[in-house]
Amino acid sequence: MKVLVTGAAGSIGRTLVRGLSGLGHELRGLDLVDGPALPLGWLVGDCLDPAVADEAVARVDAVVHLAGNPNEASLPESLESHVQTTGRLLEAMRSHGVSRMVYASSNHAVGHTPSGEVLTVGARPRPDTYYGVAKASAEALLSLYADRRGIGSVALRIGSFGDRPGSVRELSTWLSPDDAVRMVDAALRSTEPGFHVLYGISANTRAWWDLGPGRALGYDPQDDAETYADGVTPGPDDEAQNAYVGGPHVSQLQLPPAF
């Protein structure tokens, strides 16, 4: 499959460029900085630029959209970074007849949900920050384009991506690099129409989130944070971080004025 990866120079982007290439996908990268040579090329630019988005989407079969500010910002900045970029790419996809997007959403779209019971994808959006608001809004935009434009999409509510879990919370929310590749590959290959949400975590023994929707789309995670549990040192903030899905985004970040 010919795939555009936006944000391809980021931590998850670099992992996907290596892993998806190994699974037979032909990739094009897009980022604000240069990157490795890829079969479909590498573009340096901002996907908010309509000319950049148009060139990036041309002659691909699907888009993996990772680009965006990973940190908290003002409400306008967050919406621009996550919603407007998604809209710009969706319009370019419509123009070029590209009918599949895999979107890097976040657990922070539901981050203010109390932890405890297993969280399903049917839970209402409860963002914990403006970043979370933007991710939830981008999901709504994907749903609109699935219903009105026929562009199928999968929103990946990613947990804690990294080589290994580093906190007690991450024993529940960890997503391994290998499982990230498996997850995106499954979302790309799925033929299910419409808009779908899955939780982006590995097969963690202590998982807070329902993996069923991901498995239904073909995502079969193989790693478990419990493998590293003996190396995780409990800390004084664990209780506060484990109280809500969003962890420190709820317990430590103060919500500033929106503008």
| 131 is a catalytic site residue | yes
Instruction: State the catalytic residue, choosing from 131, 199, 219, 244.
Output: 131
Walk along the chain (259 residues) and give the pLDDT tens digit of each residue: 999 999 999 999 999 999 999 999 999 999 999 999 999 999 999 999 999 999 999 999 999 999 999 999 999 999 999 999 999 999 999 999 999 999 999 999 999 999 988 999 999 999 999 999 999 999 999 999 999 999 999 999 999 999 999 999 999 999 999 999 999 999 999 999 999 999 999 999 999 999 999 999 999 999 999 999 999 999 999 999 999 999 999 988 889 999 9
Locate the domains of the chain by residue range: 2-251
Pick the CATH number of 2-251 from 2.60.120.260, 3.40.50.720, 2.40.50.140, 3.10.20.740: 3.40.50.720
Q: Give the global pTM.
A: 0.97
Token representation of residue 192: 């299910």
Separation of CA 102 from chain center: 8
